[in-house]
Amino acid sequence: MKIFCLTISIAVFLLVLLNGLQAQTTQTKLNQIELMKQFIGSWKIDLGKDTTGFWECKPFGTGLEGYLKNVTKGKILMEVKQLVGYDKKIDKYVNATLTEKDIKIRALWFTSNNKYIEVSYSDIANSDIASPILEGEFKSHNEFVETVIKNGKVITYDYKRVK
């Protein structure tokens, strides 16, 4: 009888413990569409000596339409057009970035209310292990920072909202 009671007690204890562990790992689903709206507006990026980036981001359906230009001494060095659309099947955004020379397709999603990552779209099937192309974080409504690894160097871009 003692062994039976001890076995039942251990089973109940393990059941309660297992249930508690599962409850701790449950995460509420982030609303990717609402979080993406943080990008809407005009942004300025200081890119170095005499070079400034200007990014205009407008809403388009459940996505965004973007235009970026980098300017040095009044001369446009580079222009980029973007179309960013929400894919509800994968709960992520697909970002098509077009320059005069090429196109890049990436997936982007928020990992918390203020942090996001972007990976090459070809890596989306392995998004849990894919290396991010960039990581971003909203510091406030008027500022976000992106960290990019280029040629083995970590580069940080600070975006400030233009009013």
Residue 5 covered by a domain? no
Q: How far is CA 49 from CA 71, 73, 78, 145, in A?
A: 11, 10, 16, 19
Residue 72 domain-assigned? yes
The label of the residue with tokens 């982007």 reads 108
Question: Residue 123 phi/psi, 5° resolution?
Answer: -95, 0
CA distances from 64 to 13, 26, 31, 74, 103 (A): 50, 30, 15, 27, 17
CA distances, 55 to each of 39, 78, 159 (Å): 10, 12, 9
Say what the pLDDT of residue 140 is. 96
- State the pLDDT at residue 133: 83
For residue 10, is it within any domain? no
Q: Coil, helix or strand for 25?
A: helix
Contact by Cβ (8 Å): 71, 78: no
pTM confidence score:
0.77
Q: Give the pLDDT confidence score for residue 149 in this predicted structure.
A: 79
Distance between CA atoms of residues 1 and 9, nearest Å: 12
Domain assignment present for 11: no
In a domain, 21, yes or no: no
> Does a structural domain hold residue 13?
no
Count the domains in the chain. Answer: 1
Q: Is the residue at 20 inside a domain?
A: no
pLDDT at 15: 44
- How far is 158 from 163, CA to CA, in rounded Å? 16
- Are 136 and 147 a contacting pair, CB within 8 Å? yes
CATH for 136: 2.40.128.20
Q: Per the domain annotation, does 122 fall within a domain? A: yes
What pLDDT shows up at residue 151? Answer: 76
Give mean pLDDT in consecutive 10-residue pieces for the chain, a chain of 163 residues. Answer: 46 43 60 97 94 97 96 94 96 94 93 94 67 89 92 90 93
Of 81, 34, 73, 21, the closest CA to residue 51 belongs to 73
Identify the pLDDT of residue 48.
87
Range(s) of the domain holding residue 56: 32-162
- Residue 131: its pLDDT value, please? 65
Q: What is the pLDDT of residue 125?
A: 67
Residue type, 83: L
Residue written as token pair 């955004």: 93
